[in-house]
Amino acid sequence: MSHDDASRPSPAHEHNRRAWDARARHERRFAKPISDDEFRAAIHTFDPAGWLEGPLAGRRLLCLGSGGGRQSVLYAAAGAAVTVVDISGDMLELDRAAATARALTIRTVQASIDDLSALDPASFDVVVHPVSTCYVPDVLKVYQHVARVTAPGGIYISQHKQPTSLQADIAPAARGYELIEPYFRQGPLPAVVGSPHREEGTLEYLHRWEDLLGGLCRAGFVIEDLQEPLHAKPEAPRGSFGHRSQFVAPYVRIKARRLGGEKSPRAIVLGK
Ligand SMILES: C[S@@+](CC[C@H](N)C(=O)[O-])C[C@H]1O[C@@H](n2cnc3c(N)ncnc32)[C@H](O)[C@@H]1O
């Protein structure tokens, strides 16, 4: 492959960029900026598990695949120096508008999560990455790029769609939810309509656990914690998001640390 081929966006990237531009224009799910009420409610509660390890003031924070005007303004209001990366120019425009409305400063960079060559090496103390790895074919490439831009000892918090959730049917069967998509597979998942678990119009990929977790370790991170955000609702009607979530957790959230630096496990073990 020539250099030009390697740097040219793939058809999947172009497809998803257009799909998310359209979602932003039509204010679809995950493409609506934070409201003033949500902002007031979230400004002191966006880190319930303490994964960010204290105040953000002065820390260099990358909001990765995080356009839409939600996370970036919260972290900027908390004092972080925020950079938002997203493939969709229209999603980034929502961040710029949300920041301007609150007199906050953020930097926006239109790029794909699997090509962060526009960012300097080791230039972030914290990387926060909401769900977006499902839109790229190769999660390992994402991790390698995140490893390059994260400072030694830096924190990488990422959320992903769980593979089982991407395999399971939306509609309930007699006893639960059947796995209708293979786990070992090539290429994007089939298109869906009306799924609360998938974004219509986008191309999505299933990433296996060995890549989601093993890939992080292979890229130079150590996993420090892991959560499955609770969406199960015991009283929810059959077939609803809350009902299906009793059988299959939709998401996984991972806290990882870039190796190197005084907080890396090796340095702690060696007393350095
Ligand atoms: C589910 S949203 C997550 C962010 C959103 N603000 C939220 O509500 O959490 C997914 C985001 O990933 C972005 N995205 C999709 N493919 C991407 C890629 N290859 N590189 C960077 N961003 C991408 C979309 O434009 C969208 O902003």
Q: Per DSSP, what are the bridge partners of residue 60?
A: 81
Establish if 214 belongs to a structural domain: yes
pLDDT band at 181 (very low <50, low <70, confident <90, very high): very high
34: domain range?
A: 3-164+208-232+253-269
Please count the structural domains in the chain: 1
Question: Atom of ligand 1 at shortest distance to CA of 71?
Answer: 6
Q: Per DSSP, what are the bridge partners of residue 226?
A: 254
Establish if 243 belongs to a structural domain: no
Establish if 63 belongs to a structural domain: yes
Please write the tens of the pLDDT for every residue from 31-49: 999 999 999 999 888 999 9
Given a cut of 80, is residue 225 above it in pLDDT? yes
What is the pTM for the complete model shown?
0.94
36-40, 43-47, 59-63, 112-116 — which is least confidently predicted?
Answer: 43-47
Establish if 238 belongs to a structural domain: no
Task: Look at the block and give the residue holding tokens 């007393």.
Answer: 271
pLDDT for 245 equals 98
Q: Hey, which of 72, 131, 135, 149 would you mutate to test ligand 1's pocket, going by the most ligand atoms within 8 Å of its Cβ?
A: 135
Mean pLDDT, residues 204-228: 98
Q: What are phi and psi of 9, to 5 degrees?
A: -60, 140
pLDDT band at 81 (very low <50, low <70, confident <90, very high): very high
CA distance 116 to 129: 13
20-34, 70-84, 123-137, 224-238 — which is least confidently predicted?
Answer: 20-34
Establish if 212 belongs to a structural domain: yes
Tell me, what CATH number does 40's domain have? 3.40.50.150
pLDDT band at 234 (very low <50, low <70, confident <90, very high): very high
CA distance 133 to 161: 8
Residue 271 Cα to ligand 1 midpoint, Å, equals 40
Establish if 91 belongs to a structural domain: yes
Given a cut of 70, is residue 163 above it in pLDDT? yes
The per-residue pLDDT of the chain, averaged, comes to 93
Q: Which residues form ligand 1's pocket by a CB distance below 6 Å?
A: 13, 16, 20, 30, 65-68, 70, 86-88, 91, 112-113, 130-132, 135-136
Establish if 241 belongs to a structural domain: no
Q: Hey, which of 88, 92, 161 would you mutate to test ligand 1's pocket, going by the most ligand atoms within 8 Å of its Cβ?
A: 88
Establish if 100 belongs to a structural domain: yes
